[in-house]
Amino acid sequence: MKQRLRACSIRVALQRWKAQVSPMSIELFCPAKINWLLAITGKRKDCYHEMVSLVAPLAYGDRLRLNRGTDKMGISLKILGAELTDGPNNLAWRATELFLKRFGLEGSIDIEIEKFIPIGAGLGGGSSDAVGALKGLAALFKVDDEIALLELAAELGSDCPLFLKGEPVLMRGRGEKLEPLDEDERRILDGTPIALFKPAFGISTLWAFKALAADISQYANPSAVERSLDGWRDGKLPLSDLMQNSFESVVGQKYPSIPLVMDRIRRETGCQCSLSGSGSACFAIGQADSFGQIREITRECWGESAFFQETTISDIGLTETPGISS
């Protein structure tokens, strides 16, 4: 098997957004993500879990605005569209604190997040917003240190580093080791139609990992996972064969409606489905003209409060738009 890189350079992503920033403010798109493959292979001595995951950002997400003031000190955070903590426990706030401390900076930072990604869904909304804050601050303060940003992202959370790259990647370790896909592999994923759906309730990631650790037979076999990945990357297996998620069994035991809804979607639409992250969001791939039927199934099973969104896999990731100069 040919040698593959085990780490991603984020320099191209940094250069892409750095040129679009205004002096005092910036607006960023913070994408949701799906785990096309999420194989949890065991628990580490440091209490984190080893994983192998094929992760893809979507053309659907939150909006984050940063304003750098000059008349006061400190951080302020305003959240629109969701009931979330707007203080130091918020991950975007925490990212801002870590960034300022790391680079010895101070000043007034106003953060506004317009939420579209549902909470407790396994779609990476909080992590994406936090990385959006890191990238926006780097642009506002003219910081060009990709290694430091990667370290800060890893400190914030296991799935934060992937959002720095802004394209589909393989995650390994606890999520901090990023492996790029080659151009042909990215082309296969880019633009794939995706239907997102979830019940009104969310799922705690902490609970999901604890439930998985309580039954080690649920861990994925590392060798089998790598064989499947190699088979796809060598053109011997279709991408659809990689759709698996180690959390589906434990989640299905506690929340049986999730596998029941996915099974019905498979039967009635022919679409393939999987859990994203630890849930409760799921995603389906297939013909986009069948997505309306998926919406009807989820509403029938979970009621009008069920979340549904059509989107596509995006190879752009965190795409900044120009801010407003003061």
CA dihedral (157, 161, 154, 136) positive or negative: negative
Active site residue 159: yes
Are 22 and 325 in contact by the 8 Å Cβ rule? The answer is yes
Gap between the Cα atoms of 137 and 134, Å rounded: 5
Q: Distance (Å, rounded) from C-alpha 232 to C-alpha 156?
A: 31
R_g of the chain computed on alpha carbons: 19
Q: Which residues contact 151 (CB under 8 A, 6 or more apart)?
A: none
Q: Is 33 part of the annotated catalytic residue set?
A: yes
Sign of the alpha-carbon dihedral angle for 260, 262, 266, 268: positive
> Taking Cα atoms as reference points, which of 163, 179, 76 lies closest to residue 127?
163
Give ∠ CA 292-295-299 in degrees, rounded to 5.
145
Which one of the listed residues 62, 115, 129, 159 is annotated catalytic? 159
Q: SS3 breakdown of the chain: % helix, strand, coil, rounded to 5?
A: 35, 25, 35
CA 74, 76, 78: angle at the middle one, nearest 5? 175
Catalytic-role residue among 33, 115, 135, 165: 33
Pick the closest to residue 111 from 142, 70, 74, 65 (CA basis). Answer: 65
Q: What CA–CA distance (Å, rounded) separates 119 from 126? A: 8
Q: Partners of 43 in the beta sheet?
A: 49
> Whose CA is closest to 223, among 41, 49, 48, 1?
41
Burial of 202: CB neighbours in 10 Å, binned 0-12, 13-18, 19+:
middle
Q: Which residues are catalytic?
A: 33, 159
